[in-house]
């Protein structure tokens, strides 16, 4: 005996289909039991459908359908040989109860996702902060280079002024030196002339 489930809204189990069959035998007769009471035909919450190869018990899951189910198979000729299936306890609360392992796995996955998202946000925040620092450093470097270029231009302009002043001073010094040389030459000439004139007068 095995069963399939029908799932309704909110993924809760609302119906079951029990299957009962035998591997060998001719003209098997199937009977379904709920808590030892025979289920035949159609009831408030069940429907029995007998086929040559198997019997199907359609069950609506609710309070009235809770209990222990099993199937008996006998030979319809003599009715003496009876084979009983294993018993299954069916209850709506038990069927729709989530196993602890499922709850643990779902909660673990949720916790993992929360941790992953938090980690990604933290890494993104650090990356953005680092990018801002890199951009600020790049901007500071550009500003520093521009200021350096401006200062170089000012120094160059100052250097031009210094060079001009130095040239003027050099030219003045050259003039002074040439004037000094001229004066010195004049004095030497004058001295030479004075030396020569007294000699001629004697």
Give the residue extent of every domain in the chain. Answer: 2-96
31 to 35, 73, 89, 183: CA distances (angstroms): 13, 7, 17, 151
Express as a percent the part of the chain with pLDDT over 70. 75
Other CB atoms within a 10 A radius of the CB of residue 165 amount to 10
The model's pTM is 0.47
Measuring CA to CA, which residue among 1, 46, 40, 39 is closest to residue 20?
1
Q: What is the pLDDT of residues 86-105, one digit of tens each?
A: 888 888 777 776 667 777 88
> Looking at 37-41, 72-76, 194-198, which range is the least confident one?
194-198
Measuring CA to CA, which residue among 126, 94, 117, 110 is closest to residue 5?
94
Question: Quick one: pLDDT at residue 198?
Answer: 56
Measured distance CA(5)–CA(149) in Å, rounded: 82
Q: Which fold has domain 2-96?
A: Immunoglobulin-like (2.60.40)
Contact between 70 and 88 under an 8 Å Cβ cutoff? The reply is: yes
Question: Quick one: pLDDT at residue 166?
Answer: 60
Question: Quick one: pLDDT at residue 14?
Answer: 83
Measured distance CA(102)–CA(99) in Å, rounded: 5
Measuring CA to CA, which residue among 52, 57, 55, 56 is closest to residue 26?
52
**In the chain, which residue ranges form alpha helices assigned H by DSSP?**
92-95, 100-201
Average pLDDT over the chain, rounded to whole? 77
Q: What is the pLDDT of residues 158-173, one digit of tens each?
A: 556 555 656 665 665 5
Q: What single-letter DSSP state applies at residue 42? A: B
Measured distance CA(124)–CA(81) in Å, rounded: 74
Question: Quick one: pLDDT at residue 119?
Answer: 92
Question: Quick one: pLDDT at residue 33?
Answer: 92
Express as a percent the part of the chain with pLDDT over 90. 10
């Amino acid at each position: 005996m095995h069963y399939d489930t029908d799932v309704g809204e909110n993924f809760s189990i609302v119906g079951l289909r029990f299957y009962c069959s035998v591997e060998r035998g001719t003209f098997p007769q199937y009977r379904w039991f709920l808590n030892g009471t025979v289920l035949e035909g159609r009831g408030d919450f069940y429907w029995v459908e007998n086929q040559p190869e198997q019997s199907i018990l359609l069950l609506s899951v609710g309070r009235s359908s809770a209990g222990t189910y099993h199937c008996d198979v006998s030979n319809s000729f003599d009715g003496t040989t009876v084979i009983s299936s294993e018993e299954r306890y069916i209850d709506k609360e038990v069927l729709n109860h989530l196993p602890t392992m499922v709850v643990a796995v779902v909660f673990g996955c949720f916790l993992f996702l929360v941790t992953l998202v938090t980690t990604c946000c933290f890494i993104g925040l650090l990356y953005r902060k680092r990018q801002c620092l890199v951009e600020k450093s790049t901007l500071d470097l550009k500003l520093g280079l521009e200021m350096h270029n401006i200062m170089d231009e000012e120094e160059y302009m100052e250097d031009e002024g210094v060079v001009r002043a130095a040239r003027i001073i050099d030219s003045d010094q050259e003039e002074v030196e040439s004037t000094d040389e001229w004066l010195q030459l004049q004095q030497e000439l004058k001295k030479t002339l004075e030396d020569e004139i007294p000699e001629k007068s004697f």
